[in-house]
């Protein structure tokens, strides 16, 4: 298991929120006490709830995913899985799959791909939260995500050994493709997404991704008021 990241000291709850990436306080669980939570605590919680949680610096943090983001993630899984199976490349996991990137750090990307090369004998470890690192991590950005939070995740993914990261932005309808924390290509609906060296031969239109979640126009109501979003 990779050594844990160095955790900076915090004196107040505000310090803790900044450390976690300026996230909303209602995403932080107070039990176990922040700073003391373990992988075992997280595994127990995930067994008892249908919500998504990550473990960061001894803190259990809720991962919020709305229907729109869930549909986008499901679409990407539906496209990636047949390609991966056809070419016998590895396995594709969804948003409820926890990955222990470092000792005490568990992230749950919305979609992830791990190659057979990273799985001894092509078998998953018989553990609820295995110490595995995917080749590709995909995050579908939601309104609850903060820029500093996602930058932190990005650095963690590459430090752990992830090769490729996609940030899918439903509001801007673009995909940011990272091959390193400081190497990014932004793709719009005029472009196509490819799998690079991780998924050689894979291509997908950006427009097709966002067409999978058609949204209702913000039409005026009969009383002249617009629907609230």
The 3 state secondary structure assigned to 4-48 is CCCCCCCCCHHHHHHHCCCCCHHHECCCCCCCCCCHHHHHHHHHH
Specify which residues 90 forms β-bridges with.
Answer: 115
3-state secondary structure of 112: strand
Q: What share of the chain is helix, strand, coil (3-state, %, to 5)?
A: 30, 30, 45
pLDDT at 8: 56
What pLDDT was estimated at residue 120? Answer: 85
Q: Could you please report the per-residue DSSP string of 181-201?
A: TTEEEEE-TTSEEEETTTEEE
**pLDDT of amino acid 215:** 66
Give exposure, 96-107, as e/b (b: 16+ Cβ within 10 Å).
ebbbbbbebbbb
* Burial (CB count <10 Å: 0-12, 13-18, 19+), residue 119: middle
218's CB contacts (< 8 A; 6+ apart) are 226, 227, 229
Per-residue pLDDT of the chain (229 residues; tens, 9 = 90+): 555 555 556 579 999 999 999 999 999 999 999 999 999 999 999 999 999 999 999 999 999 889 999 999 999 999 999 999 999 999 999 999 999 999 999 999 999 999 999 998 999 998 899 999 999 999 999 988 999 999 999 999 999 999 999 999 999 999 999 999 999 999 999 999 999 999 999 999 999 999 988 765 444 444 444 444 3
Question: Where do the domains of the chain lie?
Answer: 13-63, 67-211
Residue 220's pLDDT is: 45
Return d(Cα 166, Cα 43) in angstroms, integer: 26
pLDDT of residue 11: 74
> What was the pLDDT predicted at 213?
83
Beta sheet of 105-107, edge-to-edge order: 59-63, 52-56, 105-107, 99-102
Q: Which CATH architecture has domain 67-211?
A: Alpha-Beta Complex (3.90)
182 bridge partner residues: none
CB 119 within 8 A of CB 90: yes
């Amino acid at each position: 298991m990779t050594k844990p990241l160095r955790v900076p000291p915090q004196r107040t709850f505000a310090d803790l929120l900044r450390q976690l990436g300026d996230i909303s306080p209602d995403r932080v669980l107070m039990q176990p006490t922040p700073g003391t939570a373990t992988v075992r605590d997280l595994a127990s919680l995930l067994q008892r709830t249908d919500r998504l949680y990550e473990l960061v610096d001894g803190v259990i943090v809720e991962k919020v995913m709305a229907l729109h983001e869930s549909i986008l993630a499901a679409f990407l899984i539906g496209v990636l899985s047949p390609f991966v199976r056809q070419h016998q490349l590895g396995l594709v996991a969804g948003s409820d799959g926890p990955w222990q990137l470092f000792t005490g750090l568990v992230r749950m990307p919305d979609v992830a791909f791990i190659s057979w090369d990273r799985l001894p004998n092509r078998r998953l470890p018989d553990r609820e939260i295995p110490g595995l690192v995917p080749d590709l991590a995909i995050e579908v950005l939601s309104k609850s995500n903060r820029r500093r939070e996602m930058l932190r995740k990005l650095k963690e993914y590459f430090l752990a050994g992830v090769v490729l990261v996609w940030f899918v932005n439903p509001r801007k309808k673009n995909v940011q493709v990272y091959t390193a924390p400081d190497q990014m290509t932004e793709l719009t609906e005029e472009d196509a997404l490819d799998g690079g060296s991780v998924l050689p031969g894979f291509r997908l239109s950006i427009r097709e991704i966002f067409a999978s979640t058609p949204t209702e126009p913000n039409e005026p109501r009969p009383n002249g008021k617009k629907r609230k979003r």
